[in-house]
Structure 1
Amino acid sequence: MTNKITELFNIKYPVVQGGMIWVSGYKLASAVSNAGGLGLIGAGSMYPEILRAHIQKCKKATNKPFGVNVPMLYPDIEKIMDIIVDEGVKIVFTSAGNPKTWTSFLKDKGITVVHVVSSVKFALKAEAAGVDAVVCEGFEAGGHNGREETTTFALIPMVKELLKIPVIAAGGIASGRGMLAAMVLGADGVQIGSRFAATVESSAHQNFKNTIIDVKDGGTQLTLKELAPVRLVKNKFYDEIQELYLQNPSKEKLKELLGRARAKKGMFEGDLENGELEIGQIAGLIHEIKPAKDVLEDIITEFNLVKSFVGGL
């Protein structure tokens, strides 16, 4: 399967594993890369030296391309970028910030840069900043999300109509059928997060993995838009947020309830009541925890089967 994305990253399949916080360590990234996709280490939940260790371990675990996802709101962003350069990482996905800030710096070092966007407006800005591709993420996705609430399958054709660079679809995709649908609408590849969160190699706590496969339709909600929109599983913490909203709270009150390290508490430490459990709407289609290799193989097998049935792209 050869297209713009496989050629850009030198990978077998146009499938990118999302660089999720507390989930995407070197074990998951290397497993996906070894299986033919593009694995990403999620730097958003790592101190600089922890990231360095994960990059070094990933290089030992795979001889295939892999990358690092970097939320640009990270407080030690300069250290993170220096480590990425020092360790010879060739692919960086940036998010949560202005792509102009770091794109030129990275590209001058020979690094392929992809930026995550949630709207046509930001996709155009990313292209103008010189990125090599964009990830267009619809609001079905788990974790932090765009304020526009544009769905993936509405966003992809609108972006594809205007951009010349490759477009990667993200949000609400966990199967070969979803991958094919996204590519029919114009995507050159897909980024998948939630499905890879529920894998053996995911660094998420087992409690959170079990929660993912228990989530049903309507079991998640986009909330905390006043701070940073985030899609959460409806647990005790989520209920506390909704109760506070009934009081018309200020941003300060919302921040006070959120506190610190909620995502770590929930996804990494397994506190299902008081933690922040970030997962996408597509979790309703995830029914078992499997090795990442098997997940990717299932996606590609179904993609090819359905593609042949409908007569190809």
Structure 2
Amino acid sequence: MTNKITQLFNIKYPVIQGGMVWVSGYKLASAVSNAGGLGLIGAGSMYPDVLREHIKKCKKATDKPFGVNVPMLYPQIEEIMNIIVEEEVKIVFTSAGNPKTWTAFLKEKGITVVHVVSSVKFALKAEAAGVDAIVCEGFEAGGHNGREETTTFTLIPMVKEAVKIPVMAAGGIATGKGMLAAMVLGADGVQIGSRFAATEESSAHINFKNSIVDVKDGDTHLTLKELAPVRLIKNKFYQKLQELYLQNPTKEQLIELLGRARAKKGIFEGDVENGELEIGQIAGLIHNIKPAKQVLEEIIAEFNAVKATVSKL
């Protein structure tokens, strides 16, 4: 399969594994890259020295392209960016911030830059900043989301109509059928998070992985919009949050309830009652935990099978 995305990243399939906090370490990134996709290390939950270690280990685990995802709200972002340059990472995905801040710096170092957006407005800003491609992420996605609540299937064609650079779709995609649908609407590739969170190589705790498998439709909700919108599984912490909302809380009260390292507690440490469990709506279609290679192979096999029969519709 050859298109703009496979050529941009020098990969076999236009499938990118999302750089999720507490999930996307070098084991997952290298497994996806070795299988023909583009694996991303999630820097958002890593101290600088930990990120450097994961990059080094990823280089040893794969000779295929891989990248690093960097949320630009990261407090030590300058150190993170310098490590990326020093370790000669070739691909960086940025998110949660202004693409102008770091794009020129990275491009000057010969790094391919992709920015994640949730609206046409920010897609245009990212293109103007000089990024090589964008990921348009819809409301269905897990983790932190845009405030507009635009769904993936409406966002893809609107972004594609507005920009000239390659576009990848994210949010609510975990199958070959979903990948084909996104590409029919104009996406050049897809970024998949939740499905890869429930893989053997994911660094998430087994309790969190099992929670993903147990999710049904309606079991997640986008909340905490006053701080940073995030889609969560409805657990004990979520219920406490909803009880607080009934009191019309201040931003400070929400911060106090959230506390520190709530996502780490749930995703990495496995406290599925009191932790933040970030996952996408598509988790309702995830029924098992498999090796990342098998997941990617099944997505591509289904994509090709459905593509071959879609003309009959």
- Relative to the length of structure 2, the TM-score reads 0.99
CA distance in 2, matches of 1:273, 1:178: 31
Question: Secondary structure, in 3 states, of the residue corresponding to 2:169?
Answer: strand
Looking at structure 2, the residues matched to 302 and 310 of structure 1 have their Cα atoms a distance apart, in angstroms, of 12
Match of 1:30 in 2: 30
Distance 2:301 2:160 in 1: 26
Map of 1:166-177 to 2, 5 A cutoff? 166-177=166-177
Paired position in structure 2 for 1:254:
254
Matched, 1:234 2:234: yes
* Percentage of identical aligned residues: 85
Cα-to-partner distance string for 1:215-244 (whole Å, 9 max, x where unaligned): 000000000000000000000000000000
Alignment match, 1:86: 86
Partner of 1:77: 77
* CA deviation profile, 1:249-289 (whole Å, cap 9, x unmatched): 00000000000000000000000111000000000000000
Residue 13 of structure 2 is aligned to residue 7 of structure 1: no
Alpha-carbon deviation of 1:311? 3.5
Please state how far the C-alpha of 1:310 moved relative to its aligned partner.
1.2
> In structure 1, what residue type is equivalent to 2:52?
R
2:271 aligned residue: 271
After TM superposition, list the pairs within 5 Å mapping 1:39-188 onto structure 2. 39-188=39-188
Cα separation, 1, equivalents of 2:209 and 2:248 = 33
Count of residue pairs brought into register by the alignment: 312
Letter in 2 for 1:280: G
Letter matched to residue 153 of structure 1: F
Secondary structure at the residue paired with 1:29? helix
2:211 is the counterpart of 1:211: yes
Q: 2:101 aligns to what SS in structure 1? A: coil
- String of CA shifts for 1:124-170, please: whole Å, max 9, x gaps: 00000000000000010000000000000000000000100000000
Amino acid at match of 1:189: G
Inter-partner Cα distance in structure 2 for 1:267 and 1:129: 33
Letter in 2 for 1:157: P
Q: Output the amino acid matched with 2:262.
A: R
Q: Give unpaired runs (5+ residues) of structure 2.
A: none
Letter in 1 for 2:207: N
State the SS of the aligned residue for 1:249. coil
In structure 1, C-alpha distance between the alignment counterparts of 2:13 and 2:93, rounded to whole Å:
18
What is the one-letter code of the residue matched to 1:59? Answer: K
Q: Which runs of 5+ in 1 are unaligned?
A: none
Extract structure 1 runs of 4+ deviating beyond 3 A.
Answer: none
Q: Distance in 1 between matches of 2:209 and 2:274?
A: 16
Q: Displacement, 1:11?
A: 0.1
- 1:284 counterpart residue number: 284
Question: TM-score scaled to structure 1, two decimals?
Answer: 0.99
Structure 1 residue matching 2:196: 3-state secondary structure:
helix
Q: Which residue identity is paired with 2:106? A: L
Deviation at 1:205, TM superposition (A): 0.1
Measure how far apart 1:63 and its partner are. 0.1
Matched position secondary structure for 1:70: strand
